[in-house]
């Protein structure tokens, strides 16, 4: 069974239609107390991530969200609160809820403000997990907006990544995401954690009973390991790019915590949105972007490579080629089915 997973599984996968998974997820989130609208937003986002091949942020996350809702870590009835701080600068308080609907709201507002004023800066605070960042960045880029999204997490609860040269988890995975309008082949979307793998991939591997990629994780003694259990026993994720990933992570932490203030939930976010037509017309931008991207991708390839991919292209191709089918680890799907069945009996 073909899939683009980074997880090595001993067990098989099941092929599921989008409709089947969507019905189950919406049922699950409504049973937990979410409104139909919010349940749909969450399900749509998780399914999109799975179709794009980003398993760490895909359907399996419903297992985590269920636990967080039931324990009270996430608020069911939260509603984002927006306030203006000064000209073109705003803050959204997520009210302790899941970050997916909050980030949808934030990007729509940021697009509105930057289309009117050319640029906006928006802080997003007091939110839980926000899902796959590239989802939002591509949405904005397709409307002609450049976005820069920086996250610094709650170090007390998510001390996941060792600083370069260390063996203890000190920083969260602190992702960055930059979206830019592209040319005829689509937008350019750079979405990455500052760690070698996302934290979500570790949870996905544990849920599915699989092994992680080589060279990404260390145990509590600093030895490389592929076993996700070693992470939960005092291990840590390594920073990507050695000192470079560590540096980006540290800057993100300083922005999110020392500038934006106390981190009350999972992370604080800074979203900068620029209307690219302020500097160049949409048509001219696409013309120049096509020239740049065509030149870069028209490059002789190294051994083992068939072509050059621009950031965001692999995810788009995965979705197009998915035929609306999700390849989910059998163990993960069985857990979801059991949970929904038990919820419906109550």
pLDDT in tens, 137-180: 999 999 999 999 999 999 988 899 999 999 999 999 999 999 99
Instruction: Give me the count of residues in the chain.
Output: 346
The residue to which tokens 């089915």 are assigned: 337
Q: Give the least confident one: 89-93, 268-272, 323-327, 340-344.
A: 340-344
CATH 3.40.640.10 matches 80-195+239-311 = no
181-210 per-position pLDDT tens digit? 998 889 999 999 999 998 888 988 887 888
CA distances from 319 to 40, 185, 274 (A): 19, 14, 27
Q: Identify the band that residue 5 occupies on the pLDDT scale cut at 50, 70 and 90.
A: low
How far is Cα 337 from Cα 335, in angstroms, rounded to an integer? 6
> Is residue 215 over pLDDT 60?
yes
Which residues lie below 8 Å from residue 299, measured CB to CB, with a gap of 6+?
308
> pTM to 2 decimals?
0.90
How far is Cα 242 from Cα 180, in angstroms, rounded to an integer? 26
Query: What is the average per-residue pLDDT within 324-332?
Result: 91
Identify the H or E element spanning 81: strand 81-86
Q: Identify the band that residue 47 occupies on the pLDDT scale cut at 50, 70 and 90.
A: very high
Give the model's pLDDT for residue 7. 63
63-80 per-position pLDDT tens digit? 999 999 999 999 998 999
Compute how many other C-beta atoms are within 10 angstroms of the C-beta atom of residue 290: 14
CB 178 within 8 A of CB 223: no
- Give CA 4 to chain center in angstroms: 17
Q: List the one residue out of 78, 1, 89 whose CA is nearest residue 42.
A: 78
How far is Cα 217 from Cα 222, in angstroms, rounded to an integer? 9
Give the model's pLDDT for residue 1. 40
Domain ranges of the chain: 80-195+239-311
């Amino acid at each position: 069974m073909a899939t683009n997973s980074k997880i090595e599984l001993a067990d098989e996968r099941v092929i599921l239609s989008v409709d089947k998974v969507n019905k189950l997820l919406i049922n699950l989130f409504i049973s937990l107390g979410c409104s139909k609208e919010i349940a749909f937003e969450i399900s749509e986002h998780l399914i999109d991530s799975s179709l794009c091949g980003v398993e760490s942020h895909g359907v399996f996350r419903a297992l985590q969200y269920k636990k967080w809702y039931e324990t009270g870590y996430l608020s069911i009835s939260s509603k984002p609160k927006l306030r203006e701080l000064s000209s073109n600068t705003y803050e959204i308080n997520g009210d302790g809820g899941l970050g997916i609907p909050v980030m949808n709201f934030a990007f729509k507002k940021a697009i509105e403000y930057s289309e009117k004023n050319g640029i906006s800066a928006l802080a997003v605070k007091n939110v839980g997990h926000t899902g796959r960042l590239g989802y939002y960045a591509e949405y904005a880029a397709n409307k002609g907006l450049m976005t820069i999204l920086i996250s610094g997490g709650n170090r007390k609860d998510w001390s996941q990544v060792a600083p370069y040269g260390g063996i203890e988890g000190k920083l969260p995975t602190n992702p960055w995401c930059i979206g830019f309008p592209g040319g005829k082949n689509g937008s350019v979307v750079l979405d990455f954690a500052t760690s070698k793998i996302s934290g979500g991939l570790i949870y996905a591997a544990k849920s599915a009973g699989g092994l992680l990629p080589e060279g990404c994780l260390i145990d509590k003694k600093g030895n490389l390991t592929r076993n996700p259990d070693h992470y939960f026993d005092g291990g840590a994720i390594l920073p990507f790019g050695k000192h470079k990933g560590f540096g980006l992570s540290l800057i993100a932490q300083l922005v999110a915590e020392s500038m934006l203030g106390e981190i009350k939930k999972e992370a604080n976010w800074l979203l900068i949105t620029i209307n690219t037509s302020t500097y160049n017309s949409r048509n001219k931008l696409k013309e120049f972007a096509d020239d740049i991207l065509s030149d870069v991708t028209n490059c002789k390839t190294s051994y083992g490579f068939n072509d050059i991919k621009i950031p965001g292209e692999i995810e788009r191709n995965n979705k197009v080629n998915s035929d609306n089918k999700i390849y989910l680890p059998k163990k993960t799907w069985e857990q979801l089915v059991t949970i929904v069945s038990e919820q419906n009996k109550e």
